[in-house]
Structure 1
Amino acid sequence: MNISNLGSNSSRSGISESQKNVKTFILPEKCFERYAACTWRRGNKFSIYPRSQKTSSSPSNIDNKILDVRQEVLLFIPILRKLVNESNGTYLSLQKAAEAAKTSDNHVEFLKLSRQYRSIIRVCIEGLQEAASKETNGIEKNSLLSYITIFYSIECIWHLCEILYIDNIPGDIVLPYLLEWVRFHFPCHEQTAAQLLEACERGSEDHPEYWDTVVGMVVQGRVDVARALLKLHSLTDSNEFKLLDNSLRSMPVYSVYGGISTGEFTVSWKHWQAECRSKLGSRVLASQPKLELIMKLIIGDYSAFESIREKYTSWFDLLGGWVMFTAPWSRRHALGAAAAACAGMRPAAGRTPLDAMARALMDGDLHQVIHEIQQISDNGWFATHLTDILYHCGKLEIMDKHQTNVTSRLRDSLILEYGCLLMEHPSLWPVGLSYLASCPPEGLRRAELVLERIPVQTEAKAMRVVAEAKKYGLLGVVQSVCTCMGARHLSSGRVGSALAWAVRARNSALCARAADSALRAYCASGVLPAVDFLLTAGSAMLLCDTLLFLGKYCDFHRMYKNREFKKAAKLLVSLLTSKIAPDYFWETLLLDTLPLLESDEPVFSSDDTFEIMLCLELKPLSLTQEKADLLRLALTRNLARTSLSDVDSGGE
């Protein structure tokens, strides 16, 4: 769901939104001469191929070329996969916190998770900066620098959003947090100020950036630093400097915990500014234009701020100082006007996306904020995670043109789109699956459809798919993947693996085919496949008669090997009389009785012997005449031995 379609009125121009966003692809030369066609493929890929035309003008020879076109996915770059994986952990923690918040206030946890997101972004930026510093290829280096710009903007806007909508600011007085935001993201002359203060030399005004640094500290609200720098001036003991220093020192600073009300502070503040205006009007500072400029700044003179605007890369640098020296008691709802005033000082160049997002945030227009962040080329990472946390904090309310609340639909659509995108990657698909599973019921339906289409080339990949499907209760996917793997192994002659996958799939038909192949393989080679699996399969043997027979026959071999001849003989007779043995296996079963019939002590009773004789007569074609005669002789001898032992036991 695109945010541009929510809450918007009919198009004001003749060009629709979709027409504005049309992309044009230039195909390679001589790729297709004529009659090209296009079809969508899996995920964000489509293919262009030559289409045959049965006309006299169609080319006689058409090259069988297929051109795949796919969207470049920024998140699939190896250096950014850490961002995807780590943010996924925070996202899942947020869902748990949101569930707990239904019964109790969980604001502190939401703020903690928001800061985790920002910390992940900062680590990502540091990784990109390190990679860019080592990169020698110009094109690759430029790409990395553009990624740094993208994620710097993301972290900057996230921090501002955290201040305005996620954190509970005491008294709703936003100035201290706004100053912190400006200092952190738009450091102005900070390094120069540190160097000058460290040197601590009188006459520091000779430094070419001295005055710009002093003014920068004032604009950033760092009054103490500005005073310390002014004391390094060679004329610091003059009346003009003392006058300004006294004004800066006496500036009232509002604190929620200061014990005075907002009204009392406002009176004190206006009294202080009146004194500053009086000093400025007396022309005492006329001989020191720089000090006069600073005095104009601290009384909130718009022209003074406008005069220094060109020294800064953006209006954000001035925002904290403007609020501080015009209305330090401002609350969040008043920031829109302050942002408009500072943005109005901007030179003629066009607005950047960062400008638009910050203005929308300060105006409280989250609808526009989400629309703007959807335009960032980060493949939806930012829009998905910011929308999700705002939704759970209860600060997001998006209305469509019919004034219907579509907040949850918007949040779900972004998460589903992001999850489906990650499902396209060969190693990030489990991460994408966790996003889809967090938006039931549609997310699970999408997960089932996408998961079934993941290419499974290896046994390990199949096991991973099955494990993830079981985690989210997608039993249909489990059965489908296991059945496909079982059929693949069976067609390749790997009977043991086919049996294991067939049992995992709980597919009785495939189990029967695999068990039948195992029995035929034993008849041909005399080696029983997958013995370890068959001995531990347990109740899975009940899936079909053929598998049950195979499992019992495997038990017979185990007993015989362990010299448990009487148990083995009893099991063998039950297999002969069970009527589930395949016809081609009768010869094997009957011949298996021979070693037991020839044992030193009789292991078949007279009743067992008669059962075997009956089976032999019922299946006369199962053995050759020579083998049948040999078996009959062994049966007769065993019958004689059992009869004599019965007589002896009766005589006793």
Structure 2
Amino acid sequence: MPSHQHMAHLVPPLFEQGRLEDFTRSGRVVSHTMSPRDDTLAVYSSPLSIPQTSSAQGAFHSDDHPIYFASKEEAPRSERRVFITDTSVIFAATQNLIKVSREENVTLLQNDDAVRALGKLACDYVNFCKECCLYASQNISRADPLQYDAEHYRRLWTCFSLFAVLYLPEPGLEDAPIGDELMEWLNTHFIEPSTQEGDELSSQERPWEDPAFWPYLTRTCLRGLSKASTFFLKVLSKHPSAYLQGLAQELSPLLTNHPRLYQYSAERDFAVASRRWKDKVKTLRLELDRVPESERDDGFENWWDRFSDIVGILEGRGEIVKKVCMELGADWKEVCSVWGIFVDTRLRRQDLPEVVAQVIDEMPPDPTDREDMVHSSLFLGRPAQALSEAAQLDIWLAAHLADLMEPIELIDPEADDSELSLRQHYILSYAEYLRTDPALWRITVDYMYSCGSVGTGMADQVLMRVPLRLENHAAAGTSGEEAASIRAGHLAGVLKSVNETCFEYQREEIRRMICRIAAQTFIKEKEYGLAISYCTSAEDWAGLGRVVDLVLEEYIAQGPEQFARLVANIAPSLHALRTDAGTKIPAPGVFLHRLMFAVRFAEFHQRRASGDGQGAALDAVTMFRDDIAPKSWWAVLLCDALDLLRDGSMFFTSNDACLLIQKLEEIHLAVGQGAEDDFLPVLCRVTKRGKKHALQRLEVARLSLAKYYAKCGAIGVGGRPSGWIH
């Protein structure tokens, strides 16, 4: 690859030409950073750690230096994205076929149905290349310009179809002569002679006087185009030479009745017919040789030499085939294809490389033409070399050829020193190319996960960096419906796809990591119910504890109303944790109890705000009685609960009052013993006052409760008073 392809030119430049030394003295260097999300590179100037002279720094020390983003590959777009997406479906089907074969412990090559299916998948690749070539060749106006032209897809088409012809024959035909298939491939992809040439010649009254006549006729005979050949042989009935008229008349049925393998059910019948046909060609040669020397030229051309070349081709004379092809400007591919039709009609796949090697010694492939180099490597039976050439033509081609080559044992499945097999090397190279477009992450990981432990590790990293787009403002690429669905507790959009991918490839640890990432996003959005749900799904109990702490912090920072609103969506998560306790790994009790407290504390304030004092009182007492409230929150809960007594309401029974007084006494006793940091800091933060003020509030609470208890005894609320209060 030319060295200039490894260079990046920054526009505008970081410094002017000829000022490299000034830039160096400024204490700055050119730095770069690879993106962990895709295959892009950020290039920028950054300061060195060593101090430099202030005068030099002044010229370049500026914060307005731009950051340049570059990629060694252009991201797929337009028709290329469609091509990549459609062919990835075939790739997935191929992996499934190979997986089933392995599960059944059957070598793919030993299973005719599997080989036939693999050949069908190869044909699907060929057809997609063909369709994209035809689409790109249409002369229509397009909203988006083509990324690759029709010629590029034509090359992919010829290479993949040649691979299918040479290496994936129908089961039972592996050892059959290959000449007809090669000629069909040649006539499909390298059309000669052109229809225009035939039209021009057929419009002439004496076409044999045209210099293009004999080359055209010879080419149609070489290619087995008998209809075109017989048409122009019939035209020679008007030729002034009676000898040529007669010879043309005898040649025509020979071309029309040339035996071809596909016309026979048994190869033996084909061989017998070929021998008889060759005998007729010998007879034609004898008649041709009888033509007097003086009658062999018509004044425009030595027709006898031209006719003799055609007969020499039919006779199967290799030196004539090579000479004629060189004169016609044909290449080695045409010689090799013609060889199996005329020279060696029983040429088999395993014998083809030897013939090709002899031909390319005299007619070598074009080393500057990647397509031609892929063809020659495939013809020569060198699959590894074919992959190397294909990678330079298009990494897509190398990856998908390698994927089919390994199961049919054309390349070594064992890993080399890089811990990758040849197939894995090209598949991962293609996957790296796909990373230039982060939107293709799903296809990218499909390719990576098919490449052993190395590919699995790479795919895991891609999955963990997929933008989940969970922000409440519905970031670009996320619909409002998806965002609403996620917040209703349903998996949707990218997050759903990522989870499905993790499940498909059994990447449970990665799924949990992604759930942790999602939880962090929901925490930023203050969607605490969803955050708890995803912490639970990730079995991230420490994360669950942090979410509960943040929820309780909302009460401290924003007050009960905002706190109750934010916690409203947490209750379903708590219910799910309790329900799943028997079927999944249960959350540790400390986190579950803390979550229960946050939910019940929020419900307590919701009832207070709605005027349901009786329900709020029951919530407060239950939190103490069931030991749900953490000790650090006792003081806050007591103060909030006693606010229910301000209007003289009697929401607590005498037993309830006793319980609240007991909790107050425990706080005072602990504070007196020096444990005030266990009970007072939260109340101090809520009131935004010191510990002294907190203790004063608790004293007021004690007095209020004592009066309330006395009132309960006086009017008989809640039954017999407890006897321990003095």
- TM more than 0.5: yes
CA distance in 2, matches of 1:134, 1:435: 34
CA distance in 1, matches of 2:365, 2:545: 78
The answer for the alignment partner of 1:49 in structure 2 is: 45
1:299 aligns with 2:315: yes
**Structure 2, unpaired ranges of 5+:** 298-302, 472-477, 479-493, 579-586, 669-693, 722-726
The answer for the alignment partner of 1:286 in structure 2 is: 296
Shift of 1:315: 4.2
The answer for the alignment partner of 1:61 in structure 2 is: 59
Shift of 1:107: 0.7
Residue number among 578, 581, 594 corresponding to 2:630 in the alignment = 581
Contact conserved, 1:220 with 1:321, CA < 8 A, in 2? yes
The answer for the alignment partner of 2:396 in structure 1 is: 381
Q: How does 1:299-338 map to 2 (within 5 A)?
A: 299-301=315-317, 302-303=319-320, 305-307=322-324, 309=326, 311-312=328-329, 314-338=331-355
Q: 1:504-536 CA distances to partner (integer Å, 9 max, x unpaired)? A: 443333323322332343461414214234224
Contact conserved, 1:515 with 1:547, CA < 8 A, in 2? yes
Q: How does 1:518-597 map to 2 (within 5 A)?
A: 518-522=551-555, 524-527=559-562, 528=564, 529-540=566-577, 542=587, 544=591, 545-553=593-601, 572-577=620-625, 578=627, 580-581=629-630, 583-584=632-633, 586-588=635-637, 591-592=640-641
The answer for the alignment partner of 1:414 in structure 2 is: 426
Q: Which stretch has the larger CA shift, 315-324 or 172-181?
A: 315-324
Shift of 1:573: 2.4
CA distance in 2, matches of 1:405, 1:489: 44
The answer for the alignment partner of 1:275 in structure 2 is: 283
Instruction: Output the amino acid matched with 1:120.
Output: F
The answer for the alignment partner of 1:506 in structure 2 is: 539
Instruction: Output the amino acid matched with 1:363.
Output: L
Flag the 1:565–1:270 CA change in 2: closer, same or farther, 3 A. farther
Instruction: Output the amino acid matched with 2:385.
Output: Q
Task: Indicate the RMSD between aligned Cα atoms, in angstroms.
Answer: 4.6
CA distance in 1, matches of 2:367, 2:718: 112
Q: 1:176-195 CA distances to partner (integer Å, 9 max, x unpaired)? A: 21122112111224544896
Flag the 1:265–1:408 CA change in 2: closer, same or farther, 3 A. farther
The answer for the alignment partner of 2:483 in structure 1 is: none
The answer for the alignment partner of 1:113 in structure 2 is: 121
The answer for the alignment partner of 2:674 in structure 1 is: none
Contact conserved, 1:157 with 1:357, CA < 8 A, in 2? yes
Three-state SS of the structure 1 residue aligned to 2:238 is coil
Residue number among 248, 251, 255 corresponding to 1:248 in the alignment = 255
CA distance in 1, matches of 2:417, 2:423: 12
Instruction: Output the amino acid matched with 2:549.
Output: D
Instruction: Output the amino acid matched with 2:80.
Output: L
Contact conserved, 2:41 with 2:69, CA < 8 A, in 1? yes
Contact conserved, 1:332 with 1:362, CA < 8 A, in 2? no
Flag the 1:311–1:552 CA change in 2: closer, same or farther, 3 A. farther
Shift of 1:84: 1.8
Shift of 1:118: 1.6
CA distance in 2, matches of 1:562, 1:208: 103
Shift of 1:294: 3.0
CA distance in 2, matches of 1:557, 1:338: 90
CA distance in 2, matches of 1:599, 1:84: 75
CA distance in 1, matches of 2:414, 2:658: 85
Contact conserved, 2:315 with 2:342, CA < 8 A, in 1? yes
Flag the 1:55–1:203 CA change in 2: closer, same or farther, 3 A. same
Q: Which stretch has the larger CA shift, 269-278 or 427-436?
A: 269-278
Flag the 1:413–1:304 CA change in 2: closer, same or farther, 3 A. closer
Flag the 1:194–1:587 CA change in 2: closer, same or farther, 3 A. farther
Three-state SS of the structure 2 residue aligned to 1:45 is strand
- Percent of aligned pairs with the same residue? 16
Q: Output the TM-score relative to the length of structure 1.
A: 0.78
The answer for the alignment partner of 1:77 in structure 2 is: 77
Q: 1:220-245 CA distances to partner (integer Å, 9 max, x unpaired)? A: 22224422454456639942321111
Flag the 1:113–1:616 CA change in 2: closer, same or farther, 3 A. same
Instruction: Output the amino acid matched with 2:598.
Output: L
Residue number among 178, 183, 195 corresponding to 1:179 in the alignment = 183
The answer for the alignment partner of 2:222 in structure 1 is: 219
Q: 1:397-424 CA distances to partner (integer Å, 9 max, x unpaired)? A: 4899xxx899971112222333244234
CA distance in 1, matches of 2:468, 2:704: 52
Contact conserved, 1:188 with 1:317, CA < 8 A, in 2? no
Contact conserved, 1:478 with 1:505, CA < 8 A, in 2? yes
Flag the 1:164–1:574 CA change in 2: closer, same or farther, 3 A. same
Flag the 1:86–1:244 CA change in 2: closer, same or farther, 3 A. same
1:158 aligns with 2:160: yes
Shift of 1:156: 0.9
CA distance in 2, matches of 1:213, 1:519: 90
Three-state SS of the structure 1 residue aligned to 2:45 is strand
Three-state SS of the structure 2 residue aligned to 1:374 is helix
Instruction: Output the amino acid matched with 1:611.
Output: L
Flag the 1:264–1:243 CA change in 2: closer, same or farther, 3 A. closer
Q: Which stretch has the larger CA shift, 612-621 or 244-253?
A: 612-621
Instruction: Output the amino acid matched with 2:183.
Output: L
Shift of 1:200: 11
Shift of 1:632: 5.2
Shift of 1:615: 2.7
CA distance in 1, matches of 2:289, 2:712: 130
CA distance in 1, matches of 2:712, 2:194: 104
Flag the 1:556–1:88 CA change in 2: closer, same or farther, 3 A. farther
Flag the 1:314–1:551 CA change in 2: closer, same or farther, 3 A. farther
CA distance in 2, matches of 1:575, 1:242: 110
Instruction: Output the amino acid matched with 1:385.
Output: H
Shift of 1:425: 2.4
Flag the 1:50–1:405 CA change in 2: closer, same or farther, 3 A. closer
Instruction: Output the amino acid matched with 2:461.
Output: L
Flag the 1:424–1:262 CA change in 2: closer, same or farther, 3 A. same
Q: How does 1:593-612 map to 2 (within 5 A)?
A: 606-612=654-660
Three-state SS of the structure 1 residue aligned to 2:438 is coil
**Structure 1, unpaired ranges of 5+:** 1-17, 648-652
Three-state SS of the structure 1 residue aligned to 2:183 is helix
Flag the 1:203–1:66 CA change in 2: closer, same or farther, 3 A. same
Q: How does 1:365-514 map to 2 (within 5 A)?
A: 365-376=382-393, 378=394, 380-397=395-412, 409-454=421-466, 458-459=470-471, 465=498, 468-487=501-520, 489-490=522-523, 495=528, 498-514=531-547
Instruction: Output the amino acid matched with 1:164.
Output: L
Contact conserved, 1:262 with 1:329, CA < 8 A, in 2? no
Instruction: Output the amino acid matched with 2:93.
Output: S
The answer for the alignment partner of 2:14 in structure 1 is: 31
Higher RCO (CA < 8 A, seq sep 6+): 1
Three-state SS of the structure 2 residue aligned to 1:257 is coil
CA distance in 1, matches of 2:392, 2:366: 20
CA distance in 1, matches of 2:287, 2:344: 20
Flag the 1:646–1:399 CA change in 2: closer, same or farther, 3 A. closer
Shift of 1:172: 2.4
Three-state SS of the structure 1 residue aligned to 2:372 is helix
Residue number among 342, 356, 363 corresponding to 2:380 in the alignment = 363
Q: Which stretch has the larger CA shift, 21-30 or 556-565?
A: 556-565
Instruction: Output the amino acid matched with 1:178.
Output: L
Q: 1:341-395 CA distances to partner (integer Å, 9 max, x unpaired)? A: 655675997652222221211111112212221222x3x2211111111101223
Three-state SS of the structure 2 residue aligned to 1:101 is helix
The answer for the alignment partner of 1:517 in structure 2 is: 550
Flag the 1:513–1:117 CA change in 2: closer, same or farther, 3 A. same
Q: 1:613-638 CA distances to partner (integer Å, 9 max, x unpaired)? A: 32344457585666665555555555
